[in-house]
Amino acid sequence: MNAMVAIATVELRRFLRDKSNIFFVFIFPLMLILLLGSQFGAGSGQPRVTIAGPNSGLAQALSAELESSGVDVTASGPEAARADLSRGRTNVGVFLDDADSDAYDSGRAAELDVVMASQSSAQAVMQQVRTAVQAVGLERSQLAALTGAGVPEEQARPALDQAAAQVAMPTVEIVDTGDVVQEFRGLGKFDLGASQQLLLFVFLSSLTGAATLIQARRFGVVGRVMSAPVSSGQIVAGQALGRFAIAFVQGGFIMVGTALLFGVDWGNLWLSALVLVLFCAVSAAAAMMVGSVMDNDTAAAGVGVGGGLVLAGLGGCMVPPEFFPDTLAAISFATPHRWAYAALATIQRHDGSLGDVLPELGVLAGMAAALLVLGAWLLRRSLSRAL
């Protein structure tokens, strides 16, 4: 056990000595999660409207009406609104001035300047703006009619609110019963991307670490260590323990960082951490197996990156496996990513318990044990080859 810990400690020191790992292991994954979540995450298609002009009663009424229909409303100046429209940051811009506010307050018709962005989704948002303007105009006309008939405004407004509460307005609710839609219902903007990138980067970083075992064999470190009462299994286990520690720190950092920065819901945190532990064990064991088979550390790094990306794509870390055809979905279960993805999906989306993810955890544990045993056997064979 002491030999394994010593080997793992050396691996950690070598990892921390390379300052570039700080960016690629800790910063880059969070940047990618932010980018993917902003562009493709759930809720990224939320309609956005910018209201430019004075903070008047008209602006407040429009904002309240739009927000009640699920529109993200932002208040800004005219120049900032035009910049947001040109860069696609908002779908529709509503430009108000003092004359519009005065006309609204006096119950007269106001001519609003509305600019639509060039995105295809802006057409639907424009219709929501039209509906909101009509609703605000109707309410103001009703209030003007009551006050014109001699009803004081302090009595007319509560009367309109009471009448609106007594009338049941017709509503339309669209429910999509498709399996895929139901599967992703309730996911946050960054939830899916965070779980996918967690598995991608943990496995990828671990596989690139196979080069350290090749270097240890090439420089004779493994041979000298085995001259002591240390078995090949202990060497592989020590190397794997070092890579496991690095992978778990990276995975834990991604989980905590996305939860704090992006509000990612990992469900039962202890169960998600258990999935991460077993997936890190599989990743570290796979790295040691590659390091035992190959003799060139540069080639091993290339194989680690290429193989890691292929397995991640096949396991659902790039495109959710719910979109896979049946044949590809069945093949994807040959990867550890698919089992870890399924376990995290159960925990995140369905509040799964330990019993719900026990099959996935069992498969991951079996994969880790099999790869570690195979890596130890391959390392013993590799020592008879000249490097």
Say how far apart CA 93 and CA 99 lie, in whole Å. 18
- State residue 41's pLDDT score: 60
Give yes or no: residues 122 and 253 share one domain: no
293 and 363 co-located in one domain: yes
Same domain, 29 and 81: no
- pTM of the entire structure? 0.72
Q: What is the pLDDT along the chain (387 residues), one digit of tens a residue?
A: 577 787 778 777 777 777 777 788 889 999 988 888 766 665 556 788 999 989 888 899 899 889 888 888 999 999 999 988 887 778 899 999 988 888 887 777 888 899 998 776 788 888 889 988 888 877 777 766 777 677 776 666 676 666 666 666 565 554 555 566 667 766 777 888 999 999 999 999 888 877 777 777 777 766 677 667 777 667 667 777 888 888 898 999 999 999 999 889 899 999 999 999 999 999 988 988 888 788 887 888 888 889 999 999 999 999 999 999 999 999 999 999 999 999 999 999 889 999 999 999 999 999 999 988 887 788 777 766 544
Cα distance between residue 199 and residue 282, in whole Å: 11
Q: How far is residue 41's CA from residue 34's CA, in Å, rounded to a whole number? A: 9
Residues 154 and 272 in one domain: no
Distance separating alpha carbons of residues 131 and 148, to the nearest angstrom:
25
Residue 370 maps to a domain: yes
Same domain assignment for residues 228 and 377: yes
Q: Same domain for 130 and 59?
A: yes
pLDDT at 346: 94
Q: Are residues 221 and 84 in the same domain?
A: no
26 and 76 in one domain?
A: no
The last residue of a domain, from among 180, 209, 242: 180
Q: Does 313 reside within a domain?
A: yes
Choose among 234, 257, 247: nearest CA to 37: 257
If one counts the domains in the chain, the total is 2
**Could you give the CA distance from residue 60 to residue 76 in angstroms, rounded to a whole number?**
13
Residues 65 and 201 in one domain: no
What CATH number is associated with residue 96? 3.40.190
Inside any domain, residue 234: yes
Q: Is the same domain home to 250 and 116?
A: no
Residue 387: inside a domain? no
The reply to whether 361 falls in a domain is yes
11 and 81 assigned to the same domain: no
Q: Is residue 148 part of a domain?
A: yes
- State the Cα angle at 300 between 221 and 332, rounded to 5°: 130
Give the residue numbers spanning the domain of 215.
Answer: 2-41+187-382
Domain boundary among 118, 146, 180: 180
Residue 228 placed within a domain: yes
Picking from 180, 206, 221, the residue at the C-terminal end of a domain is: 180
Classify residue 271: in a domain, yes or no: yes
The per-residue pLDDT for 301 is: 80
pLDDT score of 206? 87
Q: Tell me the C-alpha distance between 239 and 219, whole Å.
A: 15
Say how far apart CA 62 and CA 181 lie, in whole Å: 31
Q: Are residues 7 and 99 in the same domain?
A: no
Cross-strand bridge partners of residue 17: none
The CA dihedral of 316, 350, 272, 181, to the nearest 10 degrees, is 30
